[in-house]
Amino acid sequence: MEPIEIGLWVSGGMLVFVLLGMRVAFAAGMAGFVGLVWLRWNGFDYDPERFWKAVQISVKIAGLTPHSKVSAQVLSLIPVFILIGYLAYHAKLTIALFEAAKRWIAWVPGGLAVSTVFATAGFAAVSGASVATAAVFARIAIPEMLKIGYNKSFAAGVVAAGGTLASLIPPSAILVIYAIIVEQDVGKLLLAGFIPGAFSAVVYAILIIGLAVVFKNIGPPVRGFTWRERFECLPAAAPIVIVVLTIVLFVYNPFGGDAWGTPTEGGAIGAFVVFLMALYRGMRWNELKSALLETAKLSVMIFTIIWGVLLYVRFLGFADLPSAFSDWITSLDQSPMMTLVLILLAYAVLGMFMDAIGMLLLTLPVVYPAVIALNGGDAVTAADSAFGVSSVGCSIWFGIIVVKMAEFCLITPPIGLNCFVVAGVRPECSVQDVFRGVMPFFIADALTIAALVAMPGIVLWLPILMGLG
């Protein structure tokens, strides 16, 4: 049997187990190990006496492969970013953000909902976890919206959709994972996420204002705040600006010369700043313990997925499936842009049944080389490329688009994790209520993704401006 055939059979079996409910980490790890044994035994012509030799070789590969990647320093960004988010919650930065957004923005139609979107975007700048963002603002924003007469389904949908912004706006754990899988610079991807993340927030806000103008019962504006009250609330939210600037300066130095350090070091200093702020605002030992434990739990979950998927990725490499898929994709008798659109539609369907991180980790080893090949290869210039971007630019551009697709999957039934989190935090809102509430945001996300695909400059402008694109 050809290695590619083995790769297809094993991958198909893994997808069946995932759809049946097996955790991605275990399904991928099992598929990777079984595939390695099968490939090696196939190389031994299925000699029964050499089966255990094939197992021994596979065990050694299974032991070395994950460690070689997981031990990379850049992956320490993931627990650091998650910790920043939990510490920011205990530092009451979430309340400060929402209050500032409310006083400055709530006067527009659907004002509290728009304020919630921009507050979640601000919190996303210190938190890499979408689920945590949705959970925090479900406690803060939904009661405020219900108090002045918002439809509960719409209020819950705003929080669930707003929480997805944490996947794109740096610091982002998913962007770090993408960078590791495709072996691209983390700093470039983090910088590239700022403008698309802000663009997504603006599209959400325009949608909400439009709905509030057409349907008067959706969300009345909130007025009555003086200019003094507006400016008084800004210092409480200032630490977010400090954290963002710190991370940026450790990725790129706008004053010239080398960056101040690595993104990992910038994230660590940002976490320390938020930690001091949390202590200043009264965080106690139990709250610190809770933040550390929640960070550890989420980090272990992510790293377990990475471990299992990396084993599967190594198997795919031996089976030569990524290059075969790339050859097939590039041989299709249609435009590269149409092929890219079909790939994104496949992501939308797959996201209905898988969590975002697992979906990206499983698909990127095969899909990413195909997209690079569609664009013209690893060394293509923007002028000669199919998508109008260089090979490095394509890596960044596709990364942002695919992470935006992962955001989309966080609110897509039946697996939309953010929707379940919001429903779990707010007992007055059922899961069905939340899914109904996020439906308008499907349109906003579709328009955003279309804009990012059609205009790569939205993604690449900042990295190119800073000489990194």
pLDDT above 80 (res 127): no
Q: How confident is the model at residue 258 (pLDDT cuts 50, 70, 90)?
A: low
Whether 256 shows a pLDDT value over 70: the answer reads: no
pLDDT surpasses 80 at 421: yes
Q: Residue 349 is which amino acid?
A: V
CB 156 within 8 A of CB 422: yes
Distances (CA, A) of 250 to 122, 240, 440: 20, 16, 38
CA distances from 115 to 52, 232, 346, 358 (A): 61, 17, 33, 31
Residue ranges of domains in the chain: 74-295
Integer Cα distance of 96 and 90 in angstroms: 11
Give me the long-range contacts of 259-262 (CB less than 8 A, separation at least 24). Answer: 259/187, 262/73, 262/74
Rounded-to-integer distance, Cα 370 and Cα 126, Å:
33
- Return the pLDDT at 469: 52
Other beta carbons less than 10 A from residue 56's beta carbon: 11
DSSP structure class, residue 389: S
Tokens for 250? 């450790």
**At residue 74, does pLDDT exceed 70?**
no
Query: Residues 6 or more apart from 320 whose CB is under 8 A from it?
Result: 3, 4, 7
Q: Which of 70, 75, 67, 463 is nearest to 263 (CA)?
A: 75
pLDDT at 71: 66
Nearest C-alpha neighbor of 87 from the set 117, 119, 129: 129
Does residue 468 surpass a pLDDT of 60?
Answer: no
Calculate helix-pair angle for 285-319, 173-182, nearest 10 degrees.
30
230 φ, ψ (degrees, to nearest 5): -65, -45
Whether pLDDT at 66 is above 70:
no
Beta carbons of 33 and 40 less than 8 angstroms apart: no
pLDDT at 172: 77
By C-alpha distance, which of 367, 396, 37 is closest to 196? 396
CA separation for the pair 68, 53 (Å, rounded): 23
What's the token pair of residue 229? Answer: 């009250």
Nearest to 359 by CA among 7, 66, 21, 24: 24
Which candidate, 135, 166, 137, places its Cα nearest to that of 356? 166
Q: What does each C-alpha distance from 25 to 59, 115, 298 come to in angstroms? A: 17, 37, 14
pLDDT, residue 467, reads: 65
> At residue 352, what are phi and psi to the nearest 5 degrees?
-70, -15
Q: What is the mean pLDDT of the chain?
A: 83
Q: What is the mean pLDDT of residues 240-247?
A: 77
Distance in angstroms (rounded) separating the CA atoms of residues 263 and 166 = 17
Please give the Cα distance from 129 to 135 (Å, whole number).
10
CA distance 273 to 376: 44
Q: CA of 107: how far to CAs of 25, 119, 410, in Å?
A: 46, 15, 29
- Considering only residues 258 and 1, tell me which one the structure prediction assigns the higher pLDDT: 1
Residue 220 DSSP symbol: -
For 387-400, the pLDDT digits (tens) are 888 888 899 999 99
**Dihedral angle of Cα 287, 290, 294, 297, to the nearest 10 degrees:** 160
253 pLDDT above the threshold of 70: no
pLDDT, one tens digit per residue, over 430-467 is: 888 889 889 989 888 888 999 999 999 899 888 877 66
Place of tokens 């509430």: 437
pLDDT tens digits along 328-341: 887 888 888 999 99
What distance, in Å, lies between the first and last C-alpha atoms of the chain? 43
pLDDT of residue 202: 92
Q: Tell me which residue of 94, 28, 60 sits closest to 354, measured CA to CA.
A: 28
Tokens of 119: 């507050």
Alpha-helical regions (H) of 260-355: 263-280, 285-319, 321-331, 336-350
- pLDDT category at 174 given cuts 50, 70, 90 is confident
Taking the C-alpha atoms of residue 365 and residue 69, their distance in angstroms, rounded to an integer, is 14
